[in-house]
Amino acid sequence: MQKRILGKSGLEVSALGLGCMGLSYGYGPATDKAEAIKLIRTAYEHGVTFFDTAEAYAQGANEALLGEALEPFRDQVVIATKFGFREGDVTKGQDSRPQRIREVADAALKRLKTDRIDLFYQHRVDPDVPMEDVAGAVKDLIQQGKVKHFGMSEAGAQSIRSAHAVQPVAALQSEYSLWWREPEAEIFPLLEELGIGFVPFSPLGKGFLTGAISETTSFDKSDFRNVVPRFSEENRKANQALVDVLKQVAAGLGATPAQVALAWLLAQKPWIAPIPGTTKLHRLEENIGAAALQLTADDLRKIESAVADVAVQGDRYPAHLQARVGR
C-alpha cells in the first residue's frame, strides 16, 4: 500500500485508511467484537496504517475496540479520533468547550490504550465556542504531547481559516465521493492554499456506490440511512443511474464499482486519503484492491463524462443534521 502525506503536516498515512464507525454504530447492530478485531488487524496486515474513530461512535465503545485491536502494533499506525458532542452523544448537541476537549482527550487516551492521539478532529464546528478557543485548547494538548495533529470535520472555509491561524490544521475530514462533490468548489482551493490534507468519509456513498444497494434494499431499524433523503426508495431508484455508469467503467477495467469509485478519489489530489468503512472482510479486501488500480487520464475523462449526465437525487442529510455542516 502506498503512503501519502496529509498536506504540509508531515503526517504520513496509508493511501486508504479504515473508517471504523460502522463496526460499533450507525449501520445497524454492532459487529461481534472478535470479528471486528479480526477485520481491523486484517486491514493492518494489508498495509492500512490509518484508522478513524470518534468518542461519539457508541460513546467511546468504538475507541475501546480500536485500542484493543491496534495495541500489538500501535507504533506502526496512525489513530484519528474526534471530540465535539455533549457527553459523546450526537443527539445532545455540540460541546467544544476547552475543558470538555481536555476531558475527551484524556478519556480517549485510556480507551485507545495509548499515550498520544495522532490526529484529533473537532467533529463538528460548535457555534457557541469561538474557533480560536477550540484551536487553542488543541494546541495546548499538542504542547503537552497528548495530541500530535489537529483536524476538523465538515467545517466551512471561515472556520478552517480561523482555526489554522491559531494551530495549523493537518487535515479536514468531510464527505466526498462521486455522488457528493461539493468540496471541490470552495474547500479544495482553500486546503491547497493552506497545505491541509483531506480525508473523505463515505467515499462509497454510504455503500450505495458499491452496487450492493437497490430500491428494494431494507435497512436495519437502527441504520441511520433510514432518515437520509438520498436513501429514500424513490431516490435510490433514480440514483441507480450513477452505479450503472460505474459498473460499465469497472467492467472495462476488470475491477468493481467500489474500486473505481475509490481509485477516482485517489486520482483527484495527492493529499487525499479516503477512509472507507466496512464490517465484512471480503469488502475490506475489495476496497484495499482499489489502491493498486491506476486510472489513466482517459479513464478519468470517461468517468467525468459519464457521471456529468447523472443528476443525483436527494439531500445527503436530513435538515437537522445538515444544519451542523459547513459552518
CATH architecture of the region 3-204+268-293: Alpha-Beta Barrel (3.20)
pLDDT tens, position by position, 137-180: 999 999 999 999 999 999 999 999 999 999 999 999 999 999 99
pLDDT confidence of residue 55 = 98
- Alpha-carbon distance of 199 to 17, in angstroms, equals 9
Query: Where are the alpha helices (H) located in the chain, listed in sequence order?
Result: 33-45, 61-70, 98-111, 131-143, 157-166, 187-194, 233-253, 257-268, 281-289, 297-307, 319-322
Cα 229 from Cα 312, distance rounded (Å)? 11
User: Is residue 72 within 8 Å of residue 85, measured between CB atoms?
Assistant: no
Contact 43, 288 (CB under 8 A): yes
Domain map (residue ranges) of the chain? 3-204+268-293
Per-residue pLDDT tens over the stretch 193-251? 999 999 999 999 999 999 999 899 999 998 999 999 999 999 999 999 999 989 999 99
Residues marked as catalytic: 57
| pLDDT the model gives residue 4 | 98
Give percent helix, percent strand, percent coil of the chain, each to the nearest 5: 50, 15, 35
pLDDT 10s digits, 263-280: 999 999 999 999 999 999
Question: What confidence tens digit (pLDDT) does each residue in 95-105 have?
Answer: 999 999 999 99
The predicted model scores a pTM of 0.96
